[in-house]
A and B are shown apart, each in its own frame.
Chain A
Amino acid sequence: MYRETAIVNESEVTGDLVINMGPQHPATHGVLHLVVHINGETIRKVEPHLGYIHRSIEKMSESLSYRQFIYVTSRMDYLSSHINNHACAMCVEKGLQVEVPPRAQYIRVIMDELTRIASHTLWWGAMAMDVGALTPFFLAFREREMINDIMEETCGARLTMNYMVPGGVMYDLHPLFQQRVKEFIKHFRSKIDEYDELVTGNIIFQNRMKGVGILTKEDAVSYGCSGPTARGSGVSCDIRKLYPYEVYDKVQFDEPLETAGDSFARYLVRLQELRQSMSILEQLIDDIPEGDIQAKTKAVLKLPKGEFYTRAETARGELGVYIVSEGGTTPYRIKYRSPGFSNLSALDHMARGGKIGDLVAMMGTLDLVIPDIDR
């Protein structure tokens, strides 16, 4: 429901000051609108207002064919667009009961991990910028650029890759792909130490992050948090571990976990995930099997009558795709369970009783992407 709100207001009931943060605040990364009730410096309540970038992707997908709707989901969580496409493609494949060729599976997982690294590095830069450090933002973009170049060479686009098709991937790998990825890993291994030196080990940064926005394990579960947000609170919820898809059961990696549940814990988990993603890449990159990149599918896809659900671990958490099919060429109903929405719902709980200056530090470590929340 739309409600007119002045920029600064006073609540009639409690006498708290009501401030609008966003929808154009630089730290809200897009068009998140937070209505913050404060008493002095203390936050009493945070009310996220959504809908500024709602494009009704779920409804739109109902009129698109099973080949087409996958590409629209690139616009949901644009930082892990490849993983969104992947989850959708897996759901269609589940309905069609197609087996994806091993080569395509390897390519998909490698691309997923590259996307995850790109997303986490961007988060790292943006979050450091939120708490007042500008240089990390530029450093992060430098590394992300390398991934974007790799993506461009193989997928044909830099951000919204549209590389998935039901049954496989669209093109074969660029001849230099493996070499580029190895170069990138070598480069990034040295840079991530620089990240640690510059930001993680910095006492000023730590003092801003530690003990801020504490989310206990029970709360993380009851708010339905997932991904690094929940893992920072000690909830082990990595879909890649719990319900391995594609070739994730063949690789060895750790699921980083923290128990403190504060902003710094979430920060450490994400940085650790970067290292884990690199080790996954290293394990896979050398033995991509030869073979087909697409399974044979009909030109017009028809899912049998029924309901299909798949999930994938995006950079932000668990993305669920739920398709209800009536047997036609278009889905009857599509529902996305987006990680950002549930993670945002915990913000109010985390922020209550905290200081207004810490709100940005809490929000930054939730890694919110607004189109993912609104869809």
Chain B
Amino acid sequence: MQTLTNRSKPVNRKPMTWLEKLYVWNIAKGMAVTFIHIFKRKATISYPEQKRSFSKVFRGLHILNRDEEGRERCTACGLCAVACPAEAITMEAAERQKGEEHLYREEKYAAKYEINMLRCIFCGLCEEACPKDAIYLSQTFAPANYGRAGFIYGKENLLIPNPKEDPEGFNKARGERVMS
């Protein structure tokens, strides 16, 4: 056989013995392999009763972060929307008024912030682009909805609970994900 690289190796193909040629024997052998698996450890888990935890770098649904005092971190700079290959992020900026310092960390904030989860490919580029550590992908997944509109996540779905009012919810929403 002429090969191009002379490093290739022909696959070994032995002729079969008469026992191997027997149909009944082969069926029995196959059945035996299948049967033995009844007594082995289960390879599956019973989702959704049981759930497995995800790894610390898992890229799931997005969350919008708050700082320790409960102020929104996002300044509506739009870098995440530019970085997004799927054009899933849209936002509208607004200026912070007097007396709103406890709500927003910077002078500008996102009045509207939407992520279309049907477009998103969960690449994590938005997270990498954000200078304010405001958006990151959490360890949750499996959204289900009745209509397409339900997959457009607004600020009310994305913002995590205020750490001052609901520290438990805040920690839960942040999860264990490590940001790189």
Contacts and interface: CB of A to CB of B under 8 A. Distances in A.
A194 B23 contact: no
B8 A68 contact: no
Interface string B23-36: 10011011001100
A259 B57 CA distance: 45
Interface in A201-250: 201-204, 206, 231, 234-238, 241-242
Interface in A263-279: 265, 268-269, 272
B50 interface: no
A237 to B, nearest CB: 7
Contact of B121 (A72, A133, A156, A259): A72
B144 interface: no
B59 A194 contact: no
A174 B30 CA distance: 38
B29 to A, nearest CB: 7
Contact of A156 (B33, B57, B84, B85): B57
A67 B3 CA distance: 38
A342 to B, nearest CB: 18
Contacts of B172: none
A153 B11 contact: no
Contacts of A174: 55, 57
Interface string B1-25: 1011101111101001000111100
A30 B85 CA distance: 25
Interface residues of A, number: 49
Interface stretch (B105-113, B122-130, B158-166): B122-130
A171 B10 CA distance: 39
Contact of B9 (A71, A170, A201, A256): A256
B124 A156 contact: yes
B57 A68 contact: no
A235 B2 CA distance: 9
A210 B32 CA distance: 25
A268 B121 CA distance: 36
A53 interface: no
Contacts of B43: 142, 145
A160 B55 contact: no
A268 B11 contact: yes
B97 interface: no
B85 A242 contact: no
Given A68-B125, A145-B43, A157 B59 contact: yes
A323 interface: no
Given A155-B57, A198-B33, A268-B11, A255 B85 contact: no
Contact of B16 (A170, A203, A241, A258): A203
A156 B180 CA distance: 11
Contacts of A145: 43
Contacts of A75: 121
Contacts of A241: 5, 7-8
A69 interface: yes
Nearest to A145: B43
B37 to A, nearest CB: 8
Contacts of A69: 85
Contacts of A74: 121
A142 B43 CA distance: 7
Contact of A64 (B10, B23, B30, B85): B85
Interface in B41-56: 43, 54-55
Contact of A203 (B4, B20, B34): B20
Contacts of A68: 83-85, 125
B120 to A, nearest CB: 11
5 contacts: A160-B121, A162-B122, A171-B57, A203-B23, A231-B8
Interface of A: 64, 67-69, 71-72, 74-75, 133, 135, 142, 145, 152-157, 160, 162, 170-171, 174, 194, 197-198, 201-204, 206, 231, 234-238, 241-242, 254-259, 265, 268-269, 272
Q: 4 tightest A-B contacts by CB?
A: A68-B85, A255-B8, A254-B9, A156-B57
